[in-house]
Structure 1
Amino acid sequence: MTPFDYARADDVATALRMGAGEGSAFLGGGTNLVDLMRETVARPTRLIDVTGLSDTIEETDGGGLRIGAAVRNTALAEHPAVRSRYPVLSRAILAGASAQIRNMATVGGNLLQRTRCTYFYDTDGSRCNKRVIGSGCDALGGFNRIHAVLGASEACVATHPSDLCVAFAALDAVVQVAGPDGMRAIAFDQFHRLPGDRPDLDTVLAPGELIVAVEVPPARVAANSTYRKVRDRASYAFALISVAAALTIEDDRIAELRIAFGGVAHKPWRARTAEAALIGQVPGEAAFRAAAAAEFADAQVLRDNGFKPVLAERTLAAVLGELATGARA
């Protein structure tokens, strides 16, 4: 591990001042960053502890929620307003990790998780453009069962690992960011990047910027929402495919719908093609599967992950079928 300095920030302004300059990194729960430091994938020379900042969940004027970046995942999953009005958030968190990790991990840190691609972590012999830009991507010709089928590039086929972020994407959340130039709001669907020729850049954050909160807007549809994660084992594992969805039905037709996929791309994948195909339709398995097939029409599969589009289709049909039953009850 590279030697580093440690400091604790008492407020956002102090954190920004401490975080200015090359080599600085903000530290939340450390459940991902510390692992990356141990593996020498990340080598910050100064850590600024921001766990004492923005750690509350508050009602917004419009009836949504403002979730501080330092809120622990367990606290978010257990919050009464989240469980009743945005159950997809609770279910995504509970699917995401062990209880010990949920107790430590923060919302802001969850947004900044880096890929679990084996080649990204292998600093001794694997080429990885995300770790060393221009070095190549060994996943393309290697073992690529967990890798992306949508939005990838020749530079990178890694997937984003977060479960919570898939739920946030489905809910049209907004990321509140503080930086040297003041505050700005970033639509969640625009916060994470597709790899292009710069897979080393996971998000659109500028140097020195700090996530201070995530705002979830009010949405009637969110009350009938869920999250399903398909993985190799029932215990702690990352998604092969996951689906966050919310649904309302009026006059026996789909009136409002939100869908996001995990495990398929470099970022949480908002399924707008599938949503558009289903609005106004009579809910049913055939319609659900056709919409999923349309979403994955441009999928680019690799040697080991050709099952993902079909698995996504089946998973979406099962999730929407469950929600449709609840919407009619």
Structure 2
Amino acid sequence: MASGSAAPAAASPAFLDASALRALLPNAALLGHLESALPAAAPAVRAPLRQSYPVDPAASASLLLMPAWSPSGTATALPYFGVKLVTSFPGNSARGLPGIHAAYVLFDSATGAVLASMDGTQLTLLRTAAISALATKFLAREGARVLVMVGAGELAPYLVRAHLLVRPSIRRVIIWNRTAGRARELAESLKGEAQLQGVDIGWTENLDGVVGMGDVVSCATSSMDPVVKGALLKPGAHLDLVGSFTPSMRECDDEALRRGRVFVDCEAALEEAGELVGVFQRGLMTAGDVAGSLLDLLGGAGGQKEAVFRRSEEEVTVFKSVGSAVVDLLAAQLVYETHSWGSG
């Protein structure tokens, strides 16, 4: 609902929790909104590299800030600006808690008034899965049949649902996690979802044994060491890398990038993604070897070159996402406008 003017402001700021966001951001609506709005918004919105502050270096815990705004007076200026506050506590897994928590605050760009605060964790889960699915729509083979889901954390079920939305030809999902019990639990929970009926959903303890089966291999881990070996990817596979967002994190080895035609969600990935930072430092690739961004795939005016999608059935493609404040802002826009117009 990219209207170009703010929805009617509520008397007091709205608070939208996780359940509200799930209701207001169904996959199909969010995918459609991002695909249509991102080409115009990305060049107009200013989104500095995320600011990261170590709050407990011994535990690798950090606070991240992701603001986004568009200068007023421009034809494509949004009537909103916003900021996401994120905490990353990797040690939370031992406590049975999510490692990432977040809050999002949306402001009126004309007055600076707070319009809404939202569950930023849920917003991140939904928009991250949507961005991965958009890339899969352009880069994965049309007849993809098998999805290998690497990681069984909070994001994994969102990725499974979103990938199957854009590739309904997928009939088998195989889940791997370092802790096998979590992979098994996720597989069992997904089997009960109505939209996944007819899909064979299973789990494995042997990632190397199933990576080569994946037409789409989606990774959402916090690994510091590569878990996906490029030599094992099948010809024509699409590798979706979501987990790493710092130079010290890596989900795949250099061979996966060397074999693949690489796209990124935004320019920040060239500086933040451990897979790319490492391969650049080792002199095996340069930034110029990256084929393009999501904006290029969408054909946006801000794209640096005309994107060519999958060039053959045998080509391996890679999409690396680190997260974008522009996408957060667009997702928050859709949430707020849908909520405000729906409530009168």
Relative to the length of structure 1, the TM-score reads 0.26
> Which one has more relative contact order, counting CA pairs under 8 Å at least 6 apart?
2
> Which has the larger helix fraction?
2
Relative to the length of structure 2, the TM-score reads 0.25
